């Protein structure tokens, strides 16, 4: 065994550095888990009646209709009832921004699979407000399909060795060819094709080149749980960049997925069944107010 070298350090007055500022890593933030929405206090009686009636219709529709069908316009609710509904539904782990062709702000409620979908006017005001019950609101996939291309232009031959050496590219040309091939053959509903960039020998120039070639699409999704997962659509209708970060916002996994929508953003059928049960419990509590 190679001997472990013992460092020789000077001791005594003047031999030590000044007091150091300890730079501890920040502690992890709280894990995002379901928390029962706060009980409404001193709720307006008329607003309470409207919210109860809405929840009854919502739960009945969730029980009777397939997951992905129920949609309810909130435009008819009075402001006090809308505020009470906001308190009741709360906010969940997944949020979505859609920039085009319509400007949408989408937030999963505290009940998984139940989404709040707001459309914004040009001045930022809320033009439409609705509840959708689905794996993910249809407007997300519709925007990506409407604006995304189906093919990616890739050079017939990757750059020569001298160009690669000069630019620092290693595997980006081959990865783009792989992405282009799978995107061209992709059909809705197919299993995802995942490229794990974290496990591949890629340089910073590779990552920059991939980002520039794939571009930015109309939708961005943030899923919060034990850490964060940032999901960004690209200029290709079926290609997404999926990046995972730990609770201290340090990257731990970077992937490219060829798929309708990455599974990490979707509510599952089990979530739907659980949300029906919890909404029923919450409705019972509201009825006791």
**In the prediction, which pLDDT does 8 show?**
41
Name the 3-class secondary structure at 258. Answer: strand
For residues 189 and 113, give the distance between their C-alpha atoms in angstroms, rounded to a whole number. 19
> Which DSSP letter does residue 31 get?
P
**In the prediction, which pLDDT does 225 show?**
74
With CA atoms as reference, report the closest residue to 72 among 279, 216, 281, 217: 279
Structure tokens at 242: 């999926």
**In the prediction, which pLDDT does 162 show?**
53
**In the prediction, which pLDDT does 65 show?**
86
Q: Would you say the CATH fold of 145-265 matches that of 45-135+268-287?
A: yes
With CA atoms as reference, report the closest residue to 236 among 182, 159, 158: 182
Give 96's strand partners: 106, 221
* Structural domain spans, the chain: 45-135+268-287, 145-265
**In the prediction, which pLDDT does 155 show?**
54
pLDDT tens track, the chain, 289 positions: 444 343 344 444 444 444 443 333 343 444 445 555 545 556 788 889 999 999 999 999 999 988 888 899 998 899 999 999 999 999 999 999 999 999 999 999 999 999 999 999 999 999 999 999 999 999 999 999 999 998 887 654 455 555 554 578 889 999 999 999 999 999 999 999 999 999 999 999 999 999 999 999 999 999 987 679 999 999 999 999 999 999 888 999 999 999 999 999 999 989 999 999 999 998 888 775 4
Q: Which residues contact 282 (CB under 8 A, 6 or more apart)?
A: 36, 37, 55, 88
Q: Which residues contact 259 (CB under 8 A, 6 or more apart)?
A: 186, 190, 191, 192, 193, 238, 240
**In the prediction, which pLDDT does 67 show?**
85
CATH architecture observed for domain 145-265: 2-Layer Sandwich (3.30)
CATH of domain 45-135+268-287: 3.30.1370.140
For residues 6 and 288, give the distance between their C-alpha atoms in angstroms, rounded to a whole number. 72
**In the prediction, which pLDDT does 166 show?**
52
Range 55-64, long-range pairs (CB < 8 A, 24+ positions): 55/88, 55/279, 55/282, 55/283, 55/286, 56/283, 58/114, 58/131, 58/133, 58/279, 59/276, 59/279, 59/280, 59/283, 61/133, 62/133, 62/272, 62/275, 62/276, 62/279, 63/276
**In the prediction, which pLDDT does 24 show?**
34
**In the prediction, which pLDDT does 27 show?**
37
**In the prediction, which pLDDT does 18 show?**
46
**In the prediction, which pLDDT does 172 show?**
93
Q: What is the DSSP string of 95-141?
A: EEEE-SSSEEEEEE-SSTTEEEEEEE-TTS-EEEEEEEESSS-HHHH
> Could you tell me if 153 and 214 are in contact, meaning their C-beta atoms sit under 8 angstroms apart?
no
**In the prediction, which pLDDT does 39 show?**
58
**In the prediction, which pLDDT does 104 show?**
98
For residues 261 and 98, give the distance between their C-alpha atoms in angstroms, rounded to a whole number. 14
> Could you tell me if 179 and 240 are in contact, meaning their C-beta atoms sit under 8 angstroms apart?
no
């Amino acid at each position: 065994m190679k001997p472990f070298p013992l460092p020789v350090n000077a001791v005594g007055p003047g031999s030590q550095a000044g007091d150091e500022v300890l730079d501890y890593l920040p502690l992890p933030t709280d894990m995002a888990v379901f928390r029962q929405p706060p009980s409404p206090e001193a709720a307006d009686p008329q607003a309470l009646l409207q919210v109860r009636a809405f929840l009854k219709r919502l739960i009945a529709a969730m029980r009777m209709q397939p997951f992905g069908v129920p949609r309810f316009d909130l435009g008819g609710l009075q402001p006090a009832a809308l505020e009470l509904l906001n308190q009741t539904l709360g906010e969940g782990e997944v949020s979505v921004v859609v920039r085009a062709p319509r400007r949408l702000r989408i937030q999963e409620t505290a009940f998984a699979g139940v989404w709040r979908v707001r459309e914004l006017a040009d001045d930022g005001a809320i033009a439409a407000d609705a509840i959708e019950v689905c794996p993910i609101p249809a407007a997300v996939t519709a925007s990506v399909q409407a604006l995304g291309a189906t093919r990616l232009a890739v050079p017939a031959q990757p750059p020569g060795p001298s160009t690669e050496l000069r630019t620092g590219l290693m595997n980006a040309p081959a990865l783009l060819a792989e992405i282009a091939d799978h995107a061209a053959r992709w059909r809705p509903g197919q299993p995802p094709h995942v490229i794990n960039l974290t496990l591949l020998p890629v340089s910073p120039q590779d990552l920059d080149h991939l980002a520039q070639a794939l571009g930015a699409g109309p939708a961005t999704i943030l899923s919060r749980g034990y850490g964060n997962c940032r999901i960004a659509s690209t200029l290709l209708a079926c290609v997404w960049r999926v990046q995972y970060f730990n609770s201290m916002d340090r990257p731990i996994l970077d992937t490219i997925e060829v798929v309708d929508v990455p599974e990490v953003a979707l509510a599952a059928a089990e979530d739907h069944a659980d949300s029906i049960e919890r909404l029923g419990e919450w409705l019972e509590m509201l009825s006791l107010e």
